[in-house]
C-alpha cells in the first residue's frame, strides 16, 4: 500500500473514532440530567448495540452488494452526523431516542465498512492494519483530552489567580465544571461529534474506490450476511465468534464499572482518583493501544493467531485481578490501565485481521459486521444487563460494594475464555480461497 493511500485510511480512522469518543464517555451522566427514567436511559444506551445487530442484516448487506463502500460511508455520516448534531438541542425522550437510533443505525455499520475499505487496499493486512487502525485510537484520545480543558470553571480559576504556568495548569485541571454547569456544557460533545461526522461524509468521497461485489460476480449468495453466517459451520469460526462475545462482555464490564470505581474513596475500598482525572487515567489505555498497534504485525507473525488472542484475553484477567486484590492502591490501578492496549489490539484488532484473511472477499463488510454484532451488540447488551445487577444487587450492601468479589467474577470469566480458546480454536495454518460454507484447506 502506497503512502498516500495509507495516510488517507489513517485519517479516515481518526475521524471515525473522534465521533464516538466525543459523546460516549459523558452520556452516562448526561442522560439523568435530562430527567430520563432508568428505563429510558437503558433504551438510549442500548441504541448502539441494537444498531450493531440490525446493521449486520441491512447496512452491511447494502455495502457488500449494492454500493461502493466509500459512498455508503459518506451517506451514513451525512445523515448520522445531522442526527447526532441535533441531539445537542433535544431534551425530550422520544426525539432524543429517535435521533440516537438514527445515528447509531448509520454509525455502527460504518465501523465495519471502514475496516473493509482499509483491508481492500492492503497488500499485507497483518503488517499494515495495526498502523492504519492506530488512527482510530488517536482519534479517541483526541476526542477525550480537549474536554478536560474545555469543561473548566474559568471563574474559579480567575478568582484563584494562580501565578506561574505550573500553578495555573494545576488550578485549571483542579477546577472542572460540576453539577448543572457540566451537564449543560456536555451538549457540546454532540455538536463536536456532528461536525466531525459531516466532515467525514465529505472526506469519504476522496477515499480509494471500493466497489461492491454483486451476487453472480463471484458471490455465492445474494444475501451477503447469509453467506457470512454460513461460515459459522466451521468449528474454528464458531468458537472464535462465541469467545468474541465473552471478550466483548469483559470489555464493557470494564467500561461499566471503572469510571465509578476509580472515584471511590479509600475509606470505602476504592483508589480515590480525583474526579477530573478519571477520564485521563482511563485514556492511558488508549495511549498504550497506540504502542501495541505498532507491534501487532510482528507479534502475529511470531506468536500466531491463537496465542496473540489469548494474550489479549489475559490482559482482562490482569486488570480485573489488580482491581480485586489491590483496590486501594492508586499507583497499581493507574499502571494496570496500560493493559487496555493489549486487550484491544491483541484480541479485537486481531479478530478483524483474521476475518479479512479467512472470510470470502465478497462478504467483507458483512463478515466484519458478523463479529461486530458480538463486539458492539450482544456483548454490550449483556454487560449493560449483568453489570448493574452484579454491582447493585449482589455485591453491594447499602452504599458499600465488595469490590474484591465483584471483580473476581470477570477475572474468572476471562481465564475460562482463554483456556477455551487454547483448547478449541484451531484455524488452518494457511487459508485458501473458498466458497461460503465450505471448509478452508488444511
**Per-residue pLDDT tens over the stretch 276-304:** 677 778 878 888 888 888 888 889 999 99
Q: Is the pLDDT of residue 152 over 80?
A: no
Residue 154 has pLDDT above 50, yes or no: yes
Give the per-residue pLDDT at 116. Answer: 82
Q: How confident is the model at residue 224 (pLDDT cuts 50, 70, 90)?
A: low
Task: Check if the beta carbon of residue 85 is closer than 8 Å to that of residue 193.
Answer: yes
Q: Does residue 126 or residue 316 have the better pLDDT?
A: 316
Percent of the chain with pLDDT over 90: 39
CB 191 within 8 A of CB 87: no
If pLDDT is split at 50, 70 and 90, which confidence band does 437 have? Answer: very low
More confident residue, 107 or 124: 107
Q: Answer whether residue 272 shows pLDDT above 60.
A: yes
- The per-residue pLDDT for 197 is 97
**Residue 83 banded pLDDT, cuts 50, 70, 90:** very high
> Which has the higher per-residue pLDDT, 113 or 440?
113
Q: Is the pLDDT of residue 306 over 50?
A: yes
Cell of 318: 490482569
Q: Is the pLDDT of residue 35 over 70?
A: yes
| CATH ID of 1-151+186-211, from 3.30.70.260, 1.50.10.10, 1.20.1250.20, 3.30.70.20 | 1.20.1250.20
Predicted structure pTM score: 0.76
At which residue does the C-alpha cell 439523568 appear? 32
Is the Cβ–Cβ distance between 190 and 23 less than 8 Å?
A: yes
Q: Which residues contact 140 (CB under 8 A, 6 or more apart)?
A: 17, 18, 20, 21, 283, 286
pLDDT attached to residue 194: 96
Please state the rounded mean pLDDT for residues 219-238. 74
Over 60: is that where the pLDDT of 64 sits?
no
What's the rounded mean pLDDT across residues 42-71?
Answer: 77
Averaged pLDDT score across all residues of the chain: 84
Task: Return the pLDDT at 256.
Answer: 81
| Per-residue confidence band for 321, with pLDDT thresholds at 50, 70 and 90 | very high
Q: Lowest mean pLDDT: which of 22-31, 42-51, 156-165, 258-267?
A: 22-31
Query: How many whole angstroms separate alpha carbon 160 and alpha carbon 175?
Result: 10
pLDDT band at 115 (very low <50, low <70, confident <90, very high): confident
93: confidence class by pLDDT, cuts 50, 70, 90? very high
Is 66 a residue whose pLDDT tops 70? no
359 vs 160, higher pLDDT: 160
**Within the chain, which residue ranges are assigned CATH 1.20.1250.20?**
1-151+186-211, 222-428
Specify the CATH architecture of the domain 222-428: Up-down Bundle (1.20)
Q: pLDDT band for 87, please (50, 70, 90 cuts).
A: very high
pLDDT score, position 59? 57
User: Which of the two residues, 107 and 280, has the higher pLDDT score?
Assistant: 107
Amino acid at each position: 500500500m502506497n503512502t498516500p493511500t495509507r495516510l488517507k485510511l489513517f485519517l479516515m480512522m481518526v475521524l471515525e473514532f473522534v465521533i464516538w469518543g466525543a459523546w460516549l464517555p459523558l452520556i452516562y451522566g448526561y442522560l439523568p440530567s435530562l430527567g430520563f427514567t432508568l428505563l429510558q436511559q437503558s433504551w438510549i444506551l442500548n441504541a448502539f448495540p441494537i444498531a450493531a445487530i440490525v446493521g449486520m442484516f441491512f447496512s452491511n448487506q447494502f455495502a457488500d452488494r449494492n454500493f461502493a463502500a466509500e459512498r455508503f460511508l459518506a451517506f451514513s455520516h451525512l445523515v448520522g452526523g445531522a442526527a447526532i448534531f441535533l441531539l445537542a438541542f433535544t431534551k425530550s425522550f422520544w426525539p432524543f431516542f429517535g435521533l440516537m437510533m438514527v445515528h447509531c443505525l448509520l454509525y455502527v455499520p460504518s465501523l465495519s465498512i471502514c475496516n473493509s475499505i482499509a483491508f481492500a487496499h492492503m497488500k499485507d493486512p497483518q503488517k499494515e492494519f495495526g498502523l492504519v487502525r492506530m488512527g482510530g485510537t488517536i482519534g479517541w484520545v483526541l476526542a477525550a483530552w480537549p474536554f478536560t480543558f474545555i469543561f473548566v470553571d474559568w471563574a474559579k480559576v480567575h478568582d484563584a489567580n494562580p501565578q506561574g504556568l505550573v500553578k495555573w495548569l494545576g488550578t485549571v485541571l483542579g477546577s472542572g465544571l460540576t453539577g448543572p454547569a457540566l451537564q449543560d456544557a456536555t451538549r457540546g460533545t454532540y455538536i463536536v461529534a456532528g461536525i466531525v461526522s459531516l466532515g467525514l461524509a465529505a472526506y469519504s468521497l476522496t477515499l480509494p474506490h471500493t466497489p461492491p461485489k454483486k451476487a453472480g460476480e463471484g458471490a455465492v449468495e445474494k444475501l451477503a450476511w447469509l453467506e457470512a453466517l454460513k461460515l459459522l459451520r466451521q468449528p474454528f469460526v464458531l468458537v472464535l465468534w462465541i469467545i468474541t462475545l465473552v471478550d466483548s462482555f469483559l470489555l464493557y464490564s470494564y467500561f461499566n464499572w471503572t469510571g465509578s470505581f476509580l472515584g471511590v474513596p479509600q475509606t470505602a475500598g476504592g483508589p480515590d482518583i480525583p474526579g477530573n482525572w478519571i477520564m485521563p487515567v482511563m485514556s492511558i489505555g488508549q495511549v498504550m493501544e497506540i504502542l501495541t498497534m505498532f507491534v501487532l504485525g510482528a507479534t502475529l507473525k511470531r506468536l500466531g493467531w491463537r496465542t496473540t488472542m489469548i494474550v489479549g484475553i489475559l490482559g482482562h484477567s490482569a486488570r480485573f485481578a489488580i482491581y480485586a486484590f489491590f483496590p486501594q492502591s492508586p499507583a497499581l490501578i493507574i499502571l494496570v490501565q496500560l493493559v487496555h492496549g493489549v486487550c484491544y489490539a491483541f484480541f479485537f484488532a486481531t479478530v478483524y485481521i483474521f476475518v479479512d484473511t479467512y472470510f470470502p472477499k465478497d462478504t467483507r463488510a458483512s463478515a466484519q459486521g458478523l463479529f461486530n454484532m458480538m463486539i458492539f451488540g450482544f456483548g454490550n447488551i449483556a454487560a449493560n444487563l449483568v453489570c448493574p445487577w452484579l454491582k447493585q444487587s449482589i455485591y453491594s450492601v447499602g452504599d458499600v460494594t465488595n469490590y474484591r468479589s465483584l471483580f473476581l467474577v470477570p477475572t474468572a470469566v476471562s481465564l475460562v475464555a482463554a483456556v477455551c480458546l487454547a483448547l478449541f480454536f484451531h484455524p488452518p495454518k494457511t487459508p485458501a480461497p473458498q466458497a461460503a460454507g465450505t471448509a478452508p484447506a488444511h
